[in-house]
Amino acid sequence: MREFKKTKTAVMSKLISAIAVSLLAIVASFGAASPASADPVDNMNLQSLSSPHGGWGAEVWASAKNSTGQLAVLIKYHPKGLAFWDNSYALEKYNADASLDTSFGTNGVVDLPYDTGHDLQILSNNRILVAGGYYDWSRAEIRVARMDVFQNDGSYDTSFGTNGHQDIAGASAGGDIYPDIHQVTALSSGKLAVLLTYRNFNREYQFVQVFQIRNADGSLDQSYGQNGEVELTAPAGSRELETYSFTIVNSDFVVSVGYKSEPDGQQCMNDPWWEEMGMPPMCWPVPAPVVKSTLTVPSDGVLSTGNPASATYIGWHKARNASVLLGIRKPLRTGGSAITGYQYTLNDGATWSAVSGSTGTSKTLTIAGLTNGTNYTIQVRAVNGAGGGAASNAHVFTPRTVASAPVITSLSAEQNAITVNFDAPADNGGSEVTRYSCSLNGKRWRFCFEDVNSPQVLSGLKNGKIYSIRIRALNASGWSAASNALEATPQK
């Protein structure tokens, strides 16, 4: 046992030494300035991108191109002379040739009062909206999220918020603190859609996830939802909802979320040496897995109540050109709210996408934008006010279409026969070509070749007769278009 303890001590000593060496390497790295990013951004190679004011470690946080081809870039960097954890943000504008627009701000740069960056949007008249957050120790809530809108020259647009900026918090009363913006999107109406997280004093500092609509001036649109926002909640029986981002589908807002549907577990150390020392068991929590899903926020801000729907059933499928047609049976249990459409996944539920044109009464679903010849495994689920329902059974399919036309390259006349030299279809349509047919002098098509390899011989022909020959290819989807026609005359 003494030898065992010595070994244990030696291992711990080596581990501590290794950690110390790693820490020294990390600390040493802080003394050198990190090179600025020169990664392509929106097809513009920003070789001129650098940290403002002599800082270091420039990173592109968000970017958007305006109607004249100029690129606005939200940049995170470390100010000169400060520690690596001190972040600053700046807004830069680049011309189409990737040079700084020196008419914007100060030589192309506008400093931002952020220590956290979030999003950037191009508004009407090429105004630029940026969103971020900072600490304000003079306020009770400490953490402040805000949006700023700038004119083309980098000056504040004073028609927005208060002198160009709008502090962001929840709409509910009771002292909302630590707001954090996930995403801002400018709508065609001129309004702004905002996905936001904050803590609420009245709920023991519980995190609240909300979706807001704000007017063009930054104020809450009181006609939307509850005082301008919709609170998002996890499906019944689950907990710890997190929101990430959102997309707009058929005027509704589809929010990407995560939540836990199982209780957290516990992991305990099983070590005889630890137990021999008389120490109590060492245990730590193991978080439950996060379920990735979506919640649909209707365009009018009125959320339905209820649970996710039960599983949809796929009865049949038909593989088509770059698409698949599915025959479905709607869920047996709708969850208490109307089904509004369907989603599909091609990666076992890692991501879900809306089925274009689907409604609660759909009996067939068409999934387009696929690649012919690629094998897919598909599942679908119904969507109601509580989000995506249970996943359906899986179907495996391969999109395909008919092959492109083959090409006859030459004919060689022989006695009572013609040898046909041809190129196979350039595109087999996603399915193997299994045979060819031919047409002589425009007459009916018939199988004519022994196999699919070129050349092939047409025999039993009349000497001295002119033959105009075309061919076509067969795959699992049917016959291709006819090839070009060439003529030849068999001779003795």
How far is it, in rounded angstroms, from Cα 36 to Cα 46?
A: 10
What percent helix, strand, coil does the chain show, rounded to 5?
A: 10, 45, 50
Q: Tell me the domains of the chain and their CATH numbers.
A: 40-297 (2.120.10), 313-397 (2.60.40.10), 407-488 (2.60.40.10)
CB 475 within 8 A of CB 402: yes
Better pLDDT: 23 or 454: 454
Q: Which residues contact 21 (CB under 8 A, 6 or more apart)?
A: none
Q: Which residues contact 115 (CB under 8 A, 6 or more apart)?
A: 86, 87, 88, 89, 132, 133, 134, 135
Residues of the chain with pLDDT > 70, as a percent, come to: 86
- Tokens 């707001």: give the residue: 179
What does the pLDDT look like over 169-187, one tens digit per residue?
Answer: 766 544 567 788 999 999 9
Is residue 20 very low, low, confident or very high in pLDDT (cuts 50, 70, 90)? Answer: very low
**Among the listed residues 460, 459, 437, 439, the one whose alpha carbon sits nearest the alpha carbon of residue 448:** 437
Q: Is residue 119's pLDDT more than 90?
A: yes
Average pLDDT along the chain: 83
How far is it, in rounded angstroms, from Cα 129 to Cα 273?
A: 60
Q: CB-side exposure of 422: number of CA atoms within 13 Å?
A: 31
34: left (phi over 0), alpha (psi -120 to 50) or beta: beta
**Measured on CA atoms in the order 340, 345, 350, 352, is the torsion positive or negative?**
negative
Q: Is residue 15's pLDDT more than 70?
A: no
What does the pLDDT look like over 225-260, one tens digit per residue?
Answer: 878 888 888 877 788 889 999 998 877 888 999 888
For the residues of 116-174, what is the DSSP string, one character each?
Answer: EEEEEEE-GGG-EEEEEEEE-TTSTT-EEEEEEEE-TTS-B-TTTTBTTEEEE--SSSS
Average pLDDT of the segment spanning 150-155: 95
In terms of Cβ atoms closer than 10 Å to its own Cβ (0-12, 13-18, 19+), residue 279 is exposed
Lowest pLDDT segment from 38-52, 147-161, 175-189, 209-223: 38-52
**Among the listed residues 219, 194, 198, the one whose alpha carbon sits nearest the alpha carbon of residue 143:** 198
Better pLDDT: 34 or 187: 187
